[in-house]
Amino acid sequence: MSFIYKQHDDYSSPFDSSRCAANVAWGGRSVSFHQCERNKKLKPDQDGNLWCWQHHPDYIKEKREKEEAKWEQEKESQNAKWRRQRAMRNACEGVPTEMLETIKVKYLLNLR
Ligand SMILES: [Zn+2]
């Protein structure tokens, strides 16, 4: 979630209620912060704070949920891959290496 900007010392600007409330790091990763510059198409949250589209809690929540769904999917496909590999290893157990090599060569030839 976005944090609300607050004037933190004598050199930083006071909070401007006509702008998005988000506390933004200079250059994205800096340790110094400023208030988001956007002042158009602001939308209030349930507490009445105004946010631009990028820093609005609803957008951030939606974005996080999408990312989590994607990670879930990737995790599931990785797990499925590991299950296939484990099944393959189990199936090959006890089979002489030479025979496995022959099977592999035949398999690869069939793919071409
Ligand atoms: Zn903003």
Please write the tens of the pLDDT for every residue from 27-50.
Answer: 756 678 899 999 999 999 999 999
Q: How far is the CA of 87 from the centre of ligand 1 (A)?
A: 50
**Listed residues: CB within 5 A of ion ligand 1:** 20, 22, 36, 38, 52, 55
The answer to whether 18 and 39 have CB atoms below 8 angstroms apart is yes
Q: How far is the CA of 78 from the centre of ligand 1 (A)?
A: 36
Same domain, 1 and 44: yes
Among 55, 71, 101, residue at a domain's last position: 55
Q: What is the reported pLDDT for 54?
A: 96
Same domain, 39 and 1: yes
Same domain, 73 and 91: yes
Share of the chain above pLDDT 90, in %: 67
CA 13 remoteness from chain centre = 31
The answer to whether 32 and 25 have CB atoms below 8 angstroms apart is yes
Same domain, 1 and 47: yes
Residue 84 lies in domain = 61-112
Listed residue (16, 24, 25) closest to 49, CA to CA = 16
Q: How far is the CA of 60 from the centre of ligand 1 (A)?
A: 11
Q: What share of the chain is helix, strand, coil (3-state, %, to 5)?
A: 45, 10, 45
pLDDT band at 63 (very low <50, low <70, confident <90, very high): very high
pLDDT tens for each residue of 71-95: 999 999 999 999 999 998 898 889 9
What CA–CA distances, in Å, run from 88 to 8, 45, 84, 85, 93? 60, 53, 6, 5, 9
Residue 109 DSSP SS3: helix
Q: How far is the CA of 56 from the centre of ligand 1 (A)?
A: 7
Same domain, 50 and 73: no
d(CA 33, CA 15): 12
Among 36, 55, 74, residue at a domain's last position: 55
Res. 112: pLDDT tops 90: no
Same domain, 51 and 83: no
Q: How far is the CA of 81 from the centre of ligand 1 (A)?
A: 41
Number of domains in the chain: 2
Q: How far is the CA of 68 from the centre of ligand 1 (A)?
A: 23
